[in-house]
Structure 1
Amino acid sequence: MIHLNITDEISRLRAVVVGTAASNGSAPDLEDAYDPKSAEHIRKGTYPKTSDMIPEMEALVAVFKKYNVDVYRPKEIKDYNQIFSRDIAFVIDDKIIKANILPDREKEIEAIEHVWSQIPKENRIKLSEAAHIEGGDVMPWNDHIFVGTYRGADYANYITARTNMTAVRELQELFPKKTVKSFNLRKSNTIARDNALHLDCCFQPLGKGKAIIHKEGFLEEEEYTWLVDFFGKENCFHITKDEMYHMNSNIFSISPEVIISEKTFTRLNTWLRSEGFTVEEIAYSEIAKQEGLLRCSTLPLIRD
């Protein structure tokens, strides 16, 4: 049995599901792209090759092994994108919640059945069909759950809108003792620099009371201000539109002191080290071309 325990984004990690690029298939057709950044690379002919992505993911696994973290991988599906395990499910406390993701991606859930089946049945949660949600929008933070959403009446027009207010309300019912705080995110189907695909594309809490944030990712200034006030202005590292585009907020904490980051994030990594963090740098820029990075590739199961 797997005894889940996730109450925040930073406590010492003990077990995680990491996606796989082992059989990613060829670049999708432009009309099948799920996000504007992937579409941009399909158009340019720079969509990442499987042979370039496999070593990036294996480097991530190697860091987890260095810190004695148990790593689970999905079963391989031939010619299928299984990189972003964060999209398919997420853990809060001792419960795993199955994401209601784009219908084309159902097979990704089946590929982690060997993990799902080890979790006590009463702790496996499926929200209603009307609740759209993906793990990149959900951040447990002690007695809060931060959730990225899109509240516009034109929600259905955005393939980049992945979490709706029905899901936010159902999370609140599921965790009545926690404060579920939602954030209205900026969406674009066509311009990657104007699109916060998930909350973790424009915000990330860290150890030592710090946080990474991108102001323009939030549609409502008061919600952005609420977060800055919550962590304290002096504790927030503000990233630019370009840094957001390259996924600077989508790093991953192994513990309150240890962070995995992309090696080209020079300004961010310098700041992290100046704040006393240990930064494990790896190459992950090919994966980033699909509008996801380190947090997106991981599904944490157990933290201390």
Structure 2
Amino acid sequence: MTTPIHVMSEIGKLKTVLLKRPGKEVENLTPEIMERLLFDDIPHLPVIQKEHDAFAQALIDRGVEVLYLEKLAAEAIDAGKVKEKFVDRILDESNIETDGVREGLKKYLLSFDTQEMVDAIMAGIRKKDVSIESHHLADVSSEEVYPFFMDPMPNLYFTRDPAAAIGKGLTINHMAFEARNRESLFIEAIMNYHPRFADQGVEVWRDRNHTSRIEGGDELVLNDKVLAIGISQRTSAKAIEQLAIELFERNSNFEKVLAIKIPNVRAMMHLDTVFTMVDYDKFTIHPGIQKNNGEVDTYILEKGGEPGTVKMTQRSDLQEILREALDVPKLTLIPCGGGDAIAAPREQWNDGSNTLAIAPGVVVTYDRNYVSNALLRSHGVEVIEIASSELSRGRGGPRCMSMPLIREDLPK
């Protein structure tokens, strides 16, 4: 493992992970704007921070190096001497209505040291905090009109989505909703300027400048040759095909992409909210993505006969497709909530299928999903439970909250 990103599986021993500690951006949610910012409820900041700290400590206790997005972003901006350039990029994508507001915000942000500036951008900029010299009616900083010049980014603690490590590189993602699109600017800056990543052989398989959408919660690295990617509310079929072509044409080690169709609904927004790998031959699955006979529409993409093309095969026997792809004699799908008509949808809503594997057969889960957790243990999986009363309000579990950067390779 000679590069700063190395992820050849979902279950290899986790060595380094990227997290984002929930901050002021969570407290800046209001009932009027939370739906637009993709939240169903408003977490209590001191408690969500306590729970997130316990999550990070659980990983550290197992020997995982924990890096923080907010810290790396500030270090990258300083290392690249791009503070003003970064502010311009953020302002370009923040729907600033007039030049007066833009100039006022730019002056305000550049007055901070870099870490304070990054934290302020993530938290959102309230109108009452910035003096704007302007004669435009649109610049009136009235709390009654709308409290923010720049929206908060409360989804940032779900570091899985703005980017995804694949092999020795990553995708930096164009996300589905405007509320989250600025998030990947931090990842882009880190990869371009941070000494740990810049000029260190990291492949950017796909940058954020595409129009088709993809998010890391849909991107699963099954092994060093096969990816699974969800066709979902947040990831388009077009983006999956584009990524597959990039991987095949640029001589990555990946030979096959399984595009798995899941319902286009918020409750199942990403593939990893309904399906995660927990061991060499075991997966969690939410029964709600399966048809009555257990089938799931799956499209197998392989390198085509002509450059820039793929060969596609459609199948629906997901369990058999996975067994073949992983070359295991038998494969077990462990149903969220035990498949019970009440427990399954309840625990899936609370991310019972969203496990973070930190080694083969060792996963981190939310404590609230006790039916699913007991079932995982009955299948020989070690379950590390973390408190989740506030973390779960954001609609994401331990896998959503983590971006693995380095995993040990699985033995051949």
TM-score interval w.r.t. the shorter chain?
0.7 to 0.9
Residue in 1 that maps onto 2:268: 196
Indicate if the aligned counterparts of 2:43 and 2:391 stay in contact, CA closer than 8 A. yes
Alignment of structure 1 residues 171-190 onto 2, 5 Å: 171-176=243-248, 177-188=254-265
Residue in 1 that maps onto 2:21: 20
Alignment of structure 1 residues 30-179 onto 2, 5 Å: 30=32, 32-33=34-35, 38-39=39-40, 41=41, 47-75=42-70, 77-78=119-120, 79=123, 80-81=153-154, 82-101=156-175, 102-112=177-187, 113-114=189-190, 117=194, 118-119=196-197, 120=200, 123-125=203-205, 126=207, 128-142=209-223, 143-150=225-232, 161-176=233-248, 177-179=254-256
**SS at the partner of 2:258?**
strand
What is the letter of the counterpart of residue 21 of structure 1? P
* Aligned-pair Cα RMSD in Å: 2.5
Residue in 1 that maps onto 2:370: 266
Indicate if the aligned counterparts of 1:185 and 1:196 stay in contact, CA closer than 8 A. yes
What is the letter of the counterpart of residue 261 of structure 2? N
**66 and 135 in structure 1: CA distance in 2 versus 1, 3 angstrom threshold:** same
Indicate if the aligned counterparts of 2:168 and 2:202 stay in contact, CA closer than 8 A. no
- 2:282, 2:166 → 1: CA distance? 21
**SS at the partner of 1:206?**
strand
Shift of 1:250: 0.7
Higher RCO (C-alpha under 8 Å, 6+ residues apart)? 1
Indicate if the aligned counterparts of 1:186 and 1:218 stay in contact, CA closer than 8 A. no
**170 and 258 in structure 1: CA distance in 2 versus 1, 3 angstrom threshold:** same
- 1:141, 1:234 → 2: CA distance? 13
Q: Deviations over 1:227-275 (max 9, x none)?
A: 2234568711112222211110111110003211111221222222222
- 1:198, 1:97 → 2: CA distance? 16
**SS at the partner of 2:406?**
strand
**167 and 65 in structure 1: CA distance in 2 versus 1, 3 angstrom threshold:** same
Residue in 2 that maps onto 1:153: none
- 1:26, 1:206 → 2: CA distance? 35
Structure 1: 5+ residue stretches without partners: 42-46, 151-160
- 1:128, 1:85 → 2: CA distance? 19
- 1:172, 1:15 → 2: CA distance? 26
Residue in 1 that maps onto 2:333: 236
**175 and 55 in structure 1: CA distance in 2 versus 1, 3 angstrom threshold:** same
Indicate if the aligned counterparts of 2:19 and 2:402 stay in contact, CA closer than 8 A. yes
**SS at the partner of 2:264?**
coil
- 2:262, 2:290 → 1: CA distance? 5
- 2:201, 2:331 → 1: CA distance? 43
- 1:31, 1:21 → 2: CA distance? 18
Shift of 1:100: 0.7
Shift of 1:109: 2.9
Q: Which has the larger radius of gyration?
A: 2
- 1:31, 1:186 → 2: CA distance? 26
Q: Deviations over 1:42-99 (max 9, x none)?
A: xxxxx21212210111011101110111111121523232211011100110011101
Shift of 1:217: 2.9
**What is the TM-score when the length of structure 1 is the normalising length?**
0.83
Indicate if the aligned counterparts of 2:17 and 2:403 stay in contact, CA closer than 8 A. yes
What is the letter of the counterpart of residue 391 of structure 2? I
Indicate if the aligned counterparts of 2:27 and 2:43 stay in contact, CA closer than 8 A. no
Q: Work out the number of aligned pairs and report it.
A: 282
Deviates more, 1:8-17 or 1:211-220: 211-220
- 1:135, 1:221 → 2: CA distance? 24
- 1:122, 1:280 → 2: CA distance? 31
Deviates more, 1:20-29 or 1:248-257: 20-29
Aligned-pair identity in percent equals: 22
Residue in 2 that maps onto 1:8: 9
- 2:37, 2:29 → 1: CA distance? 13
Indicate if the aligned counterparts of 1:210 and 1:231 stay in contact, CA closer than 8 A. no
Indicate if the aligned counterparts of 1:184 and 1:218 stay in contact, CA closer than 8 A. no
Indicate if the aligned counterparts of 1:127 and 1:167 stay in contact, CA closer than 8 A. no
Deviates more, 1:69-78 or 1:291-300: 69-78
- 1:2, 1:103 → 2: CA distance? 32
